[in-house]
Amino acid sequence: MNVITDLQQWREIRKSLKGSVGFVPTMGNLHEGHTSLCARARKENDIVIASIFVNPTQFNQAADFEQYQRTLGADCALLKKIGIDYVFSPSPNAIYPDSYEVQVSETRLSQELEGEFRPGHFTGMLTVVLKLLNLTQPHRAYFGEKDFQQLMLVKKMIEALFLPVEIIACETVRAKNGTALSSRNTRLNTLQLEKAALLSELLVSDCSDDAVKKQLEQQGFKVEYVATKWGRRLAAVWLDKVRLIDNVPMTERNIKNVASS
């Protein structure tokens, strides 16, 4: 496995690649959610590239960006085990030669839910995803359903800008207690990890969104939103200083009950 940090070197390598290319964009601090995307990409493509780039422009709080764990050594060891061919890990200066003066923004979907609570997040995310797709030129790119609104926005950008890449959506990977895996979970202690399971439990319950919100608040979560749309129930909550998001597909059972409650 080759780890490439230099943009020029990367461009030369990309020119030389033959066959189908799968791409998994990440910000590192990898867990099984990421490795499952990589394993699927490995099965479906001749060459697999994973990027590790902690994108400063998509963090709407400086502290969150600073606290984001950088674990390049451990990440590369995991990726090597899965048989990833290239890890592309450029510097912020290489990715933003324009000092982020050129941006990709979406004006409707990006304003809802996550967009309301994380202003600027989706513009930073779409901008970096477009740059990474241009640099890696994959046939397929793999995104998790855990960040469902991100996935929808990436698909929308691909269509709107006629990008020649297939977006492969992959199911959320969960811990045994049902909690969606997230790099932020490493900031939770054992008790908090147990408590976090309530979020996914309530999302799949047949309680209304309001009732889910109330129960979470009673248990000490600070709730930003619980909403049913796009065929899913989505939520964002704070557990002390850690922000958690999750979403589940609406089954017939809970759609019926949400609608009638």
**Whose Cβ is closer to ligand PAF: residue 25's or residue 138's?**
25
| HSE-up of residue 159 (Cα within 13 Å, Cβ side) | 7
**Whose Cβ is closer to ligand PAF: residue 23's or residue 221's?**
23
Compute the least distance from the CB of residue 257 to ligand PAF, in Å: 31
Compute the least distance from the CB of residue 225 to ligand PAF, in Å: 19
Q: Among the candidate windows 23-31, 79-87, 184-192, 197-205, which touches ligand PAF by CB under 6 A?
A: 23-31
Q: Do β-strands 232-239 and 222-229 pair in parallel, antiparallel, or remain unpaired?
A: antiparallel
191 CB burial (10 A radius; 0-12, 13-18, 19+): exposed
Amino acid present at 254? N
91 CB burial (10 A radius; 0-12, 13-18, 19+): exposed
| Catalytic-labelled residue, pool 31, 34, 121, 139 | 34
Decide if residue 128 touches ligand PAF (CB under 6 A).
Answer: yes
Closest CA to 32 of 125, 146, 121, 139: 146
Q: Find out whether 95 and 128 touch, Cβ atoms under 8 Å.
A: yes
Q: Do β-strands 232-239 and 166-170 pair in parallel, antiparallel, or remain unpaired?
A: unpaired
Compute the least distance from the CB of residue 259 to ligand PAF, in Å: 31
**Whose Cβ is closer to ligand PAF: residue 128's or residue 170's?**
128
Compute the least distance from the CB of residue 82 to ligand PAF, in Å: 17
**Whose Cβ is closer to ligand PAF: residue 147's or residue 246's?**
147
Compute the least distance from the CB of residue 31 to ligand PAF, in Å: 11
The Cα 125–Cα 107 span in angstroms is 14
**Whose Cβ is closer to ligand PAF: residue 124's or residue 209's?**
124
Per the annotation, the verdict on 121 as an active-site residue is no
Beta bridge partners of 242: 239
Closest CA to 166 of 63, 55, 21: 21
Cα separation values, 126 from 35, 45, 157, 197, Å: 22, 24, 8, 30
Decide if residue 129 touches ligand PAF (CB under 6 A).
Answer: yes
Decide if residue 26 touches ligand PAF (CB under 6 A).
Answer: yes
Site for ligand PAF in 52-111 (CB under 6 A): 55, 58
Q: Among the candidate windows 13-21, 111-119, 121-129, 160-168, which touches ligand PAF by CB under 6 A?
A: 121-129
Site for ligand PAF in 131-150 (CB under 6 A): 147, 150
Work out the number of other CB atoms within 10 angstroms of the CB of residue 109. 15
Which residue of 10, 23, 25, 213 would you call a contact of ligand PAF, by CB under 6 A? 25
Report, as residue numbers or ranges, the catalytic residues.
34
Return residues touching ligand PAF (CB under 6 A). 25-27, 55, 58, 125, 128-129, 147, 150
